[in-house]
Structure 1
Amino acid sequence: MLNAPKLFLIIGTISFSALAAELTPINDNYEKIKSTNTAIRRNAAIYLGSDSQPKTIDVLQSYLNDPDSSVRRAVVSSLSRIVNNNPNISSDKIRLNNLTSALTTQFSIDENIGVRISIINALGIIRNNFSRKFLLQMLKDPYPIYRAEALRAIQNYQNPEDYSLIVQGLTDEAEGVRITAAEIIANRKIKNATSLLLKNLADPVMPVRLSMVRALGEIGTARELGGLEKMLNDSDPTVRQAAQEAIEKIKQRQTR
C-alpha cells in the first residue's frame, strides 16, 4: 500500500504531466508559427485559435502580414475564434481596439479577397465601436462582395439602427447584396422589410426572387399573400414551390 507522501507525489506528478501535456501544444505552436514552412505556420495558426489566453491574440496579430494568404486567413479565423469563445475578452477594450486597428490596416493593404472577407467577418465578431464604424463604411464599398459581407457582419451587433441598413440592402444595385439582405431579414425576422421584399419579386434574376419569397415566408402577414400568390405562376419551378411553402407558413401563423 502506498503511504500518503508517495501517493501525493504520484498525484502531483500526474497532475503536472497532464498540465504540461495541455500547455505544450500551444507553446509549441508559438514556435511553429515562426517556421519557414507555410503549411507548418498555417497549422500552427489554426491550432492557436483553440487557446483562450489574451496573449495569444497578440502573438497571432503579429502574423497578420504573413507572406502567404492561407496563413493570413488562418490567423484572422483564429483571432475570431478566440474573441468569440472568450466572453471575458470583451472587457479588454485596449486589446480589442488594437486588434481592430491591426485588422482594418491589413484590410487596406491586403490584395487577397479571401483574407479581406475573413477580416470583415472578424470585425463582426469583435463588435466594438471602431469595428462598427469600419463596417458602416464597407456598406458603401464599390465591390458588391464586400458590401454583402459587411451586411452579414453588422447583423451581429443586433442593433435596431443597423437593421434599417440591412433593409436598405434590398435596394442595392447588385443582386448578391439584395439576396444577402433578404437572407438576413429572414433569419433575424426584421418585420419592416415587406414592401421592399414584394418589390423585388419582379426581379429578372431567379435567385433574387427566390430569396425574397423565402424571406416573406418568414416575416410576411396576410397583406403579403396576394404578392406571393402571383409567384405561384413564376417561370421557375423552384420559385413556385417556395411561394407555396411561404403562403402555407403565413397561413399557419394566422391560425395560432
Structure 2
Amino acid sequence: MPVLGFGVFRNYEARPACVEAFKVGYRHIDSAQTYRNEAAVGEAVRESGLNRSDVFITTKCVSGDHGYRETLWGVDVSLRLFGFEYLDLFLIHDPMSGRDKRLATYQALLECKTAGKIRTIGVSNYNIKHLEEIRLAGYEMPAVNQIELHPLCQQKPIVEYCQKHSIVVQAYCPIIRGQIDHEVFSSIAVKHNRDPAQILLRWSLQKGYVPLPKSATPARIRSNAQVFDFELDDDDMARLDTLDKGKAGGVSWNPIDVD
C-alpha cells in the first residue's frame, strides 16, 4: 500500500483529479460506493496508461448497504463500475449497522477475498469495541482502520490499539478540510519553507499513518504530494502533538461511538 493516498470524497467528476494525481506520482486512490465516482476512478486509471498492478484502489460499503447478501452483491457492483477484476482494499465504511450486520458484512468480505475479488479487507471509523468484536468472533483482524486523524483529532486509544494489533491506520481529513489557519501550523510551515497542509501531511507520515488528502485543484494536488523531501524535527512533532482536542477537534462525521 502506498503510504500517501488520494481522496475523492464528494468529487463526483473524479476522473480529471485522479489523472492529475497519477501524473504527479500518486498511486493510491481512496473511493467509496457512496462517493458515486467508482466508474470515474476506473476511467482515470485506464486513461493514465498505468498498469492495473501499479495502482492501489480502495472502496467502501456504508452501513445502509451492510449485510451478508448485500455485501456480496455490492462488491460485484463496485468491480463492474470500476471495470476491474479485483480491488486492492475494501473497507466497511462505518460501524452504524449494529454488531450482527457488521459481522455478516465482514464474513462476506472474507469470502470475496478468498474468491480473489478483494486483496485486502479493512474497516473505517471503527472504535476499539468494534475491532474487538471481530477478534472475539475468531475472524482475521482487518488490515486497515481508516479514521479521522490530524493534530486536532488524534484518537489516541484507537491508534494505540491498531498499532498493537498490526492494523494500518489510514488518516482521513489529514489536512482538516482546509481549516488550517493555526499559529502552530503556520510557524512550522515558515520554518521549513512549506505550506501548512504539507506540514500536516508530514506529521501524519512521521506518525506512521497513511494520510488521504483530497483536492480537485491541480496545484494543490501537486503540492500535497511534495512531502517526501523534508522532515519535521522532534520539537515540531511535539508542538503538533500538544494540539489534540480528542473527538471535539474533528471536522467530519467520525461515528466511532455507536454501539
TM over 0.5: no
Structure of higher RCO (CA pairs closer than 8 Å, 6+ residues apart): 2
TM-score, L = length of structure 1: 0.30
TM-score, L = length of structure 2: 0.29
Is the strand fraction higher in 1 or 2? 2
For the pair shown, the structure with the greater C-alpha radius of gyration is 1
